[in-house]
Amino acid sequence: MYHYFIGPAVGAVIGYITNDIAIRMLFRPHQAKYILGIHVPFTPGIIPKEKARIASAIGKAVSENLMNREVLEKSLLSDDMLEKIGNAIDEFVATQSGNDETIEQFAGHYLSAEDIAAMRNDVTGGIVKMVTAKLQNSDLGSDIARMATEHVMEKTRNSVVGLFGADKLVAGFAQPIEKILAKHINEILQNNSPQMIHDLVTTEADNLMGMTMSQLTTGRDEQVTQIKHGVLNAYRTIITEHLPRILQDIDISAIIEQRINEMDMDEAEAIIMDVMKKELRAIVWLGALLGSIMGTINALI
């Protein structure tokens, strides 16, 4: 009578123990074992032994199937993602509308004073250089001289002295005066425009950096909307045009492979067991169930 119960019980115990040992042998031992110089079979465990191959396979699978260009573009350019970015911009603007910090003070939360000063100098220097080059390469002096002489002739023509033909007298001197005036204006621009433009740009930069965040955002709904669209368009451009090069430069497959190879086996085992503990435990109990079934069948036979 007892053999009807002993067989299933023994089968269950054997199934439980064998599956438990099999799962443990996936990870352990971590190193190869030797007895009298003879390699002990099944050491190290399957995962430590095939760690490099597993790391390479996981890295390749992730880069080709989970984090490739198509998958990332679909996720990063989804309507939900774009809406989140737009909402983040709206929330930032709403928060800054009550912020009385100056732009320079706000930037100080993220950059050092030296970095802010360097950026300001780079921007102002670039603007000064660009505008100065435009002025010095243009014929602005001639344009100013022509407008000045035309203005004088118009005023003379419409004045009282114009009734006595003074405008014709002025017209006779207009062309040579215009050439002389243009020459002097161009010389003035050549000699003084860099400093003039530098002073103007520096003053405007100081005024801008002295504005509060609330002044920058309040009452500028149209400009804020344009900036928001600009940020979203720049984001789309970065993702669509530069993502392939970014992925190539990053080399996700190599990073994952290197990280797994550098991972200590105790750490790797803990991670896998934490993720699959329930499933692996179910396999152990499934072994007990199958062992019990086989024991029952054997007892009945």
What is the tens place of the pLDDT at every residue in 37-90?
Answer: 888 787 888 888 888 888 888 888 888 887 888 888 888 889 999 999 999 988
Concatenate the DSSP letters of all residues of 160-200 into one string.
SGGGGTHHHHHHHHHHHHHHHHHHHHHHHHHHHHHHHHHHH
pLDDT of residue 171: 52
102 touches 211 (CB < 8 A): yes
Mean pLDDT (whole number) for 115-144: 77
Higher pLDDT, 208 or 192: 208
Beta-strand runs (E) in 13-129 = 34-35, 38-39
Domain extent listing, the chain: 3-68+252-300, 79-250
Q: Is the pLDDT of residue 263 over 80?
A: yes
pTM attached to this predicted model: 0.54
pLDDT of residue 155: 59
Phi first, then psi, for residue 34 (nearest 5°) are -135, 140
Mean pLDDT (whole number) for 263-286: 83
Phi first, then psi, for residue 99 (nearest 5°) are -95, 120
Mean pLDDT (whole number) for 232-243: 87
